[in-house]
Structure 1
Amino acid sequence: MSTQIFFVDGLWLCLRPSFSSFVRVPAAFPLSKKACKFHWSRSLSRPVSIATKPQHDASQHDQDLPENLAFTQEEHASVPHGDIHSNANPATSQGDFSHHGVTRPKRPARRLGSEPQEVYEARIRMRRRNVGSNVELQTKSTDVLENMLNKVVGNRPNHTAALRVLNELIERRHIKPQIQHYRALMLANADAMSGSAVHVKRILEEMEEVGIPTDSATLHAALRALAIHPDYLLRQQVLHTLRDRWLSLSPAGWHNLVTGLLRDRNYELALDKLERMEVQGIQVKPWLYALVVYNLADAEEFDEVLNLMETRVAEGQQFSTNLWFHMLDKASAALHQGLTSYIWKQQVLRGYLIPSYGVCSNVLAICARTGDVELAISVFDVLGQRNATFTLNDYESLLDTYVTAGDVESSLRVLCTMEKTNVDVREHSTRSLLSSLLPSDTGVKDVWQTLKRFKEEENMSIPLAAANLAVELAAHKGDVDEGMSIYRELHNVCSSGPNTLTFNHLFSMCHKANRVDLTSFFLQEMQLLKVLPNRSTYEILVVLCVELGYFEEGRKYLLEMTQSGFSLTETVKERIRAKCAKSNDDSAKRLQYDAAVRKPISRGFRKVKLRLPMKGSRVEKDTSPAATSEAARDDTSDSVKAAPS
């Protein structure tokens, strides 16, 4: 009776989990129970060397092979799970479930639907060389297998494929292991997935035990494996062996040495070896420079990255676009001015890179710290070319850049530009400019005249925050005349009238100059313009009245403040209490002990000490409840003792 053959794929096994037991393929060859020193690593679940047993009566050949070779076994080991089907005999595996009519389909490398062509080609190029099934290996000659072994450990080593070829050569054909087999096994450990530095060390130890000397090629193969799986001590041992035998490092060996040092994060030593390569005239591959740059950037050694890239670019070295963009991203995020400016001029200004908005924001933050006006303008040009919308953060960074550079006029121009582009100019936007103006020789008149010139000559819209900046500067310097002049001209210069913040600065100016008459004038102006006061306004008025001795007026402002839902800060309360305590005025005492000013009343028992005169001396007596009760108990006991029996 004929059976229908159908294919089993992943979907079928998901729908029928119980059917997966029929398609499990065992190892093509049983494993020996004999032991050797070069055992398999249980923790890594992969062999250090070949661990197989001949299938056809190999006992007669056992005496021909050394007993301690890496190509014999000591203990049980498992076949790597990832290559169990590649190690299996097709005939045997098919026979396990052929009676079920199951045939495992072949899955050739196909291009995914959304995969770009260059990605598909790169994936094909990165595929490691593989070998056929065990049956196919048995049909090939020894020379072909030797050539195949050299290929599978070439540019992209395949550890599993190399073990299968060596198994065919050593176990099945009983070829005595030679130095080229050990070298191939050493190169196979350069496989990133299956190799190990422990394997390399054991191979070197076994070669020494069996009396096979290590030549230059084998030691270089060890350096190649240690470049992928770093081990500093073992690498130094290999280098000492090369030096003791008067063997020089090849260019590939130098590259592997630097790569291993980078993986060990020995950046200074890696840079030193790189300089020695250049001094000795060894041509350094571009990928090694790129690897050094990437590792130094990850370690945030941006000064070394800048030095290396400048030198390489000056010598005509070309770096990839991905490297340039990665370095710009990392350097700007770390706020490194030198490397960021260099990459910006080399790549962005020439049109090779189009930075993201996040990178541009980081560059503007660097400019704000260093005062690099040219770089900041370049960032705005790049953002303007893509029709980006400038935010408040962008303008504030540009403003801080001009402030750091000491250009007050350009800083004020940025404020006017923000008003023109409908960006809300707030008080915190002018803090950096105010901080630079206070210790400088720039007067209030100079700032206000600059704003007036923008209005008259360039017809620019002057934001109220810029006028408030001038008024606040006058308040800090106590320049009442300039403050009054600014207030009179403010309606004609600014796009809007004064607000609460403007009057707060004016009241502070009057407070510093002790001008009570101007305070009354500005209060009337607030009422006429219907500008509502805030907590800062009331605090300034209360403190002004208290320090000038008008305690009753200050109390009235405090009452109005409380009715408006505001409260004094603790600092202002302490200031008012300290001032009222020095005055004998009844209004000052009422203000000092007002509920909105006085200290909070502490509740609970407090320990009080009374000093009572006793026989010419003063004795402290504790009147706390606990002490009182204890004293009462002592008195009672004393009276009981003194009572007659």
Structure 2
Amino acid sequence: MPRECIVIDGLWRCLCPSVDITTLSRLIGPPRHPRQRPILSPSSNIWIACRQSRREYRYVGSGLPSRNSQESVEQSRIGYLQRIAKRNPWAPGVLFRGVDAFITKLDRIPTKTLYAAIKELASAENTYLSVVKLVEYLVKERKEKPNAILYESLIRANIDRYYGSAGIARGLLEEMEKLNIVTTPQIYQAILDVTSVHPDYVLRNKALFEMKNRWYSPTTDDQISIIVGLLRDNQYELALEKLEAISKTAIAVPSWLYEIFLYTFGELGFHEETLSILKHRIKIADVTNEPLSPNTCQFLLDVFGRDAFYDGIKHIWDHSVSPGYINPPDGIVMNVLNTASNHGDAPLAMSAIQMLSSRDRRLELHHYEALVEIHAQQNDLRKAFTVLCIIAKTGLRPDLSSTRSIFRVLRKSPSETDNALAILSDLSLRYKVPSAAFNVVLEATGVHHVFTVTLDLYRNIRQFCADGPDLETYHILFSQCTKGRTINFLLDEMQTFSIEPVETTYDHLIRIASLQEDYEQAFQFLEKMKASKTAGLPNNWWISRSSALALIRRCIQAEDIRAQELIEGCRRRGMSIDTEVQQLLDGMQKQKELAEAEGAFPSSIEKSYTVPLDTVPASQNLNALSDSA
């Protein structure tokens, strides 16, 4: 069975401070027994893992370098140690060449020099094993008694992210208490540094508590270690409170600490807090002459754009992009453009579009649609229609979806529609007005007026659009039409402009024809629809659910047996309409019963209407109706 996952977060530790992550990991996970050796004394309870082993408690995401990169990592480490040796010419160079180099060459080096070398190595990176070996040599070979300096070096060595461990540091601290070795402020500082790399809520609080009891004031480095430890421990609110607290004091907060918060909070989506820290960081940069890293600005613009955080995008764009400090890629610029469109910021959107066009990139329809959206939000119809004309001028073809933002404005009031017509009339003198611009006005006119007014406006389309109507123009008219004679007029118009009907066109025609007294034309349109082909291949078009029900309703009213064919055609295409058809039959039956009671119909009422659909086979639902007729 899989083991249960226990999440130990800040709330858990606040409620139960005695919880030890290392102890829980031993209880939950399988025991491991790495090869270990004592360091300070034979009776010591502290064990340090050798090179081949790993510490018992590890965090996801950290690990030893892979085999393929071990050689390059080792070369980098040796080069780093050599640079340390150059900074410390008083110490023998052999001490800074790795464990294997000095393990047999320590006899002639004075003990005082070894102590100094340990202190230097403990503050360096990737020197865990070297410090352990030197301490072991002093205790075993030089017979040095365990003291605060050696313990401090061992604790500080546990800062190493590969071999270090908060559990070992805690054990070293407890061993000092057993040996009555006085803990110095430097030891507590080392503990805080360890917990900043290997989070341990209990150990950190223990160190702070003992420092307070001994009147040890945390230094600036201690405060920073505490904050970093809280961040690693997912104690984000506490870490932010600590940062705000030290920012209000005279402590010089390093700029890299702010950038750690920016990266951490930005990735987590804490955008309001991230923006607040960013503004404070920029203010500090003006004083300390430490400008914000361009990589940080680019990262924040990316995460802000990803989540459409307008305030953050606007701030970085004005302070970093516009002055030319960073040049974001196209994907980030597109996120900025979309966000500017959603918030109606025309200057920001224009700046983003100018950046894209300056890269010799062809602007697509969705780039311009963002500008249409912005001008429509600002109720600036002239600029919105102008953008549509510019789109057509570039060779792109705006459609009905490009004008939805304009339609939301026009449907508010008839005066807006009249104003839009005046704008189109004026623009037609300077631009080639696309059909989409006229169509949205035509659609809004149908909202405010009867169909005859809409049809009259259509007849004047040449006054606005030189190219005349398109297929969407007729779809708008068909969606509002209810009279059969108008169908024939519009079909003739489509033939005049060489516009071929599509599936949606036939669907509109069938719906309108089914509303007429003579609905035979609906079946004619249906046959044309089913017989239509493209490049010699059948299109397999079929009417929509609403049009199918409208035609079936008309057939039931007229007791037309072709209703059964329509039902079967819908079923073959996965369109379930049985419930609606049954409701139509029930409604017809009630009407006839009511009419019979009033004497308006003969008493011989067809019994077929009382037959429910669920008791008759699908192929015979309406057969009984036709037989009785």
TM-score range, shorter chain: 0.7 to 0.9
Aligned CA distance change for structure 1 residues 441 and 292 (closer, same or farther; 3 Å): farther
One-letter amino acid of the structure 1 residue matched with residue 524 of structure 2? K
* Structure 1 position 194, deviation (Å): 1.2
Separation (CA, whole Å) in 2 of partners of 1:121 and 1:481: 87
Separation (CA, whole Å) in 2 of partners of 1:126 and 1:303: 42
Q: Does 1:427 align with 2:400?
A: yes
Deviates more, 1:283-292 or 1:465-474: 465-474
| Aligned residue number for residue 574 of structure 1 | 549
One-letter amino acid of the structure 2 residue matched with residue 589 of structure 1? E
Tell me if the contact between 1:445 and 1:482 (Cα under 8 Å) persists in the aligned partners.
no
* Structure 1 position 81, deviation (Å): 3.8
Tell me if the contact between 1:468 and 1:502 (Cα under 8 Å) persists in the aligned partners.
yes
* Structure 1 position 354, deviation (Å): 0.3
* Structure 1 position 123, deviation (Å): 12
One-letter amino acid of the structure 2 residue matched with residue 551 of structure 1? Y
Give 1:443-458 correspondences, 5 Å limit: 443-456=416-429
| Aligned residue number for residue 505 of structure 2 | 537
* Structure 1 position 358, deviation (Å): 0.3
Separation (CA, whole Å) in 2 of partners of 1:471 and 1:555: 29
Q: Does 1:461 align with 2:450?
A: no
Tell me if the contact between 2:514 and 2:550 (Cα under 8 Å) persists in the aligned partners.
no
Counterpart secondary structure, 1:589: coil
Aligned CA distance change for structure 1 residues 380 and 589 (closer, same or farther; 3 Å): same
| Aligned residue number for residue 351 of structure 1 | 324
2:200 is aligned, of 231, 236, 240, to 231
Tell me if the contact between 2:297 and 2:316 (Cα under 8 Å) persists in the aligned partners.
yes
| Aligned residue number for residue 373 of structure 2 | 400
2:472 is aligned, of 501, 509, 518, to 501
Tell me if the contact between 2:388 and 2:437 (Cα under 8 Å) persists in the aligned partners.
yes
One-letter amino acid of the structure 2 residue matched with residue 358 of structure 1? G
| Aligned residue number for residue 165 of structure 2 | 196
TM-score by length of 2: 0.73
* Structure 1 position 485, deviation (Å): 4.8
Separation (CA, whole Å) in 2 of partners of 1:123 and 1:473: 77
1:303 is aligned, of 256, 262, 272, to 272
Tell me if the contact between 1:189 and 1:196 (Cα under 8 Å) persists in the aligned partners.
yes
Separation (CA, whole Å) in 2 of partners of 1:122 and 1:490: 78
Separation (CA, whole Å) in 2 of partners of 1:305 and 1:155: 32
Q: Does 1:50 align with 2:18?
A: no
| Aligned residue number for residue 565 of structure 2 | 595
Deviates more, 1:191-200 or 1:479-488: 479-488
Separation (CA, whole Å) in 2 of partners of 1:506 and 1:305: 52
For the pair shown, the structure with the greater C-alpha radius of gyration is 1
Aligned CA distance change for structure 1 residues 204 and 450 (closer, same or farther; 3 Å): same
TM-score by length of 1: 0.71
One-letter amino acid of the structure 2 residue matched with residue 497 of structure 1? G
* Structure 1 position 46, deviation (Å): 7.6
| Aligned residue number for residue 218 of structure 2 | 249
1:335 is aligned, of 297, 301, 308, to 308
Separation (CA, whole Å) in 2 of partners of 1:591 and 1:365: 54
Tell me if the contact between 2:152 and 2:186 (Cα under 8 Å) persists in the aligned partners.
yes
List per-residue Cα deviations over 1:21-57 (Å, max 9, x = no partner). xxxxxxxxxxxxxxxxxxxx98484868638xxxxxx
Give 1:95-494 correspondences, 5 Å limit: 130-131=97-98, 132-156=101-125, 158-315=127-284, 316=286, 318-456=291-429, 459-480=430-451, 483-491=454-462, 493-494=464-465
List per-residue Cα deviations over 1:200-225 (Å, max 9, x = no partner). 11101111111112121111110001
Tell me if the contact between 1:555 and 1:591 (Cα under 8 Å) persists in the aligned partners.
no
Separation (CA, whole Å) in 2 of partners of 1:577 and 1:434: 34
Separation (CA, whole Å) in 2 of partners of 1:125 and 1:421: 61
| Aligned residue number for residue 6 of structure 1 | none
Counterpart secondary structure, 2:160: coil
| Aligned residue number for residue 22 of structure 2 | none
1:550 is aligned, of 500, 518, 527, to 518
* Structure 1 position 559, deviation (Å): 3.4
Separation (CA, whole Å) in 1 of partners of 2:169 and 2:269: 32
| Aligned residue number for residue 519 of structure 1 | 487
One-letter amino acid of the structure 2 residue matched with residue 558 of structure 1? L
Tell me if the contact between 1:419 and 1:461 (Cα under 8 Å) persists in the aligned partners.
yes
Tell me if the contact between 2:555 and 2:563 (Cα under 8 Å) persists in the aligned partners.
no
One-letter amino acid of the structure 2 residue matched with residue 577 of structure 1? I
Separation (CA, whole Å) in 2 of partners of 1:544 and 1:354: 56
Deviates more, 1:477-486 or 1:321-330: 477-486
* Structure 1 position 553, deviation (Å): 3.1
One-letter amino acid of the structure 2 residue matched with residue 134 of structure 1? I
Tell me if the contact between 2:38 and 2:44 (Cα under 8 Å) persists in the aligned partners.
no
Tell me if the contact between 1:576 and 1:597 (Cα under 8 Å) persists in the aligned partners.
no
* Structure 1 position 251, deviation (Å): 0.7
Counterpart secondary structure, 2:269: coil
Counterpart secondary structure, 1:143: helix
Counterpart secondary structure, 1:138: coil
Counterpart secondary structure, 1:135: coil
Tell me if the contact between 1:251 and 1:282 (Cα under 8 Å) persists in the aligned partners.
yes
Give 1:79-94 correspondences, 5 Å limit: 79-81=50-52
* Structure 1 position 188, deviation (Å): 0.5
CA RMSD of aligned residues (A): 3.4
One-letter amino acid of the structure 1 residue matched with residue 137 of structure 2? E
Tell me if the contact between 2:552 and 2:566 (Cα under 8 Å) persists in the aligned partners.
no
Separation (CA, whole Å) in 2 of partners of 1:191 and 1:108: 15
Separation (CA, whole Å) in 1 of partners of 2:562 and 2:320: 68
Separation (CA, whole Å) in 1 of partners of 2:45 and 2:148: 12
Aligned CA distance change for structure 1 residues 409 and 107 (closer, same or farther; 3 Å): closer
Aligned CA distance change for structure 1 residues 325 and 82 (closer, same or farther; 3 Å): farther
Separation (CA, whole Å) in 1 of partners of 2:565 and 2:72: 85
* Structure 1 position 321, deviation (Å): 1.3
One-letter amino acid of the structure 2 residue matched with residue 593 of structure 1? A
Tell me if the contact between 2:385 and 2:437 (Cα under 8 Å) persists in the aligned partners.
yes
Separation (CA, whole Å) in 2 of partners of 1:496 and 1:238: 81
Aligned CA distance change for structure 1 residues 557 and 412 (closer, same or farther; 3 Å): same
List per-residue Cα deviations over 1:578-613 (Å, max 9, x = no partner). 3554x4xxxx3327625235775999xxxxxxxxxx
Separation (CA, whole Å) in 1 of partners of 2:97 and 2:242: 35
Aligned CA distance change for structure 1 residues 600 and 230 (closer, same or farther; 3 Å): closer
List per-residue Cα deviations over 1:250-282 (Å, max 9, x = no partner). 111001000000101111101111122123322
Tell me if the contact between 1:455 and 1:462 (Cα under 8 Å) persists in the aligned partners.
yes
* Structure 1 position 339, deviation (Å): 0.8
* Structure 1 position 436, deviation (Å): 3.8
Give the total of aligned pairs.
Answer: 507
Counterpart secondary structure, 1:246: coil
Separation (CA, whole Å) in 1 of partners of 2:367 and 2:84: 44
Counterpart secondary structure, 2:566: coil
Unpaired segments ≥5 residues, structure 2: 1-29, 55-70, 86-94, 533-539, 579-613, 616-629
One-letter amino acid of the structure 1 residue matched with residue 43 of structure 2? N
